[in-house]
A and B are shown apart, each in its own frame.
Chain A
Amino acid sequence: MSVFTIREERCKGCGICVTFCPKQVLEVDELSKVHAVRKEDCIGCGQCELLCPDFAIFVDKVDKEAAK
């Protein structure tokens, strides 16, 4: 389970995170902002955060038990 922090003011909707997400968790909306639409599929690999050129998306892996 992962927690997403998306800084919308920084996101330009380039879609690099969408391209490299191995689980198709992310989607860019019509206003060119990214959203985590399938959070439950996230495996917490961190590719979206590492490859975001705008420092807009952050993903933190959380313990399942702690999240409850």
Chain B
Amino acid sequence: MMERSYEKYFRENRLPHIWCPGCGNGLAMKAIVMAIEEKGLSQDETVIVSGIGCSSRASGYMDFDTLHTAHGRAIPFATGIKLANPKLHVIVITGDGDCTAIGGNHFIHGCRRNVDLTVIMFNNEIYGMTGGQGSPTTPLGRLTTTAPYGTSVRPFDACHIAMAAGATYVARSTAYHVRHLAKLIGEGIDNKGFSFIEAYVQCPTAYGRKNRLGDGGAMMKWMRDNAVQLSAWEKLPEEKRQGKFPIGCFLKREAEDFNMAYNELVNRAGGAR
């Protein structure tokens, strides 16, 4: 067998990873390295920054300069890296709890500043690592260990938050659509500004088991059957949208990124000494 070209981006001695059998995080990680390979980013000039959670373990398996930071604080660390050394490609891996709950403010202000980062949020709709507590993206009525009779609070749509907060590239795909996800991540890397990509992944252990959604394969079949490409979603009448969700690139816009704005400010103030 010819070794697959993406394997060189993994830390071989760290595999197999700790994610549960059937977990979709491995697929999202695969999509990231596929995108990095396609864009031809150098391993020495790419930095992977992650927060805390199942998703954020990914930085340990990837052979780049990696940083595993404090809970919810991946975006501030990444902002620092990008400001200190603008030639680096900075990719942030975060989870739904890490990004929208613990790091919620960092997330919206990262979008607002339009720092040139590529943020990939692995959304498994639950806190997997700590035992299945409800997260801000847990859909209404779903069972979690903190909501044994079902959640009573509406979930966040992280893509909507990113769009409203000022991100310049916003997209969503799923663990089933690996190639599509890789393509969107690649577009996010190309975008100069804050790129947000939501990777919908399955958590069969904490979320699937509690809600009787079956194993990893069954949850991926659900993604295959219920994820609708954005162009088709827009034509779908409201009653047919029930239970389905759109995937694809939601937004792409031009705006000055933080590094440029900051350099201008430095010049206006008389230059750096």
Contacts and interface: CB of A to CB of B under 8 A. Distances in A.
Interface of A: 3, 5, 9-10, 12-16, 18-20, 32, 50-56, 58, 60
Nearest to A53: B26
A6 B221 CA distance: 23
Nearest to B218: A19
Given A51-B178, A53-B22, A54-B16, A15 B215 contact: yes
A58 B1 contact: yes
B243 interface: no
Name, among A12, A52, A54, A55, the residue most crowded by chain B CB atoms within 10 Å (CB to CB): A55
23 contacts: A12-B20, A13-B21, A14-B22, A14-B23, A14-B215, A14-B216, A15-B22, A16-B217, A19-B217, A20-B217, A51-B27, A53-B24, A53-B25, A53-B26, A53-B27, A53-B30, A53-B216, A54-B16, A54-B17, A55-B7, A55-B15, A55-B30, A58-B1
Interface residues of B, number: 29
Given A55-B10, A60-B2, 5 more contacts: A9-B16, A14-B204, A19-B220, A50-B178, A55-B26
Contacts of A19: 215, 217-218, 220-221
B220 A20 contact: yes
A9 to B, nearest CB: 6
A60 B1 contact: yes
B4 A58 contact: yes
Contacts of B27: 51, 53
Contacts of B109: none
Contacts of A15: 21-22, 215-217
A5 B176 CA distance: 22
Nearest to A11: B16
A21 to B, nearest CB: 10
A9 B51 CA distance: 28
B106 interface: no
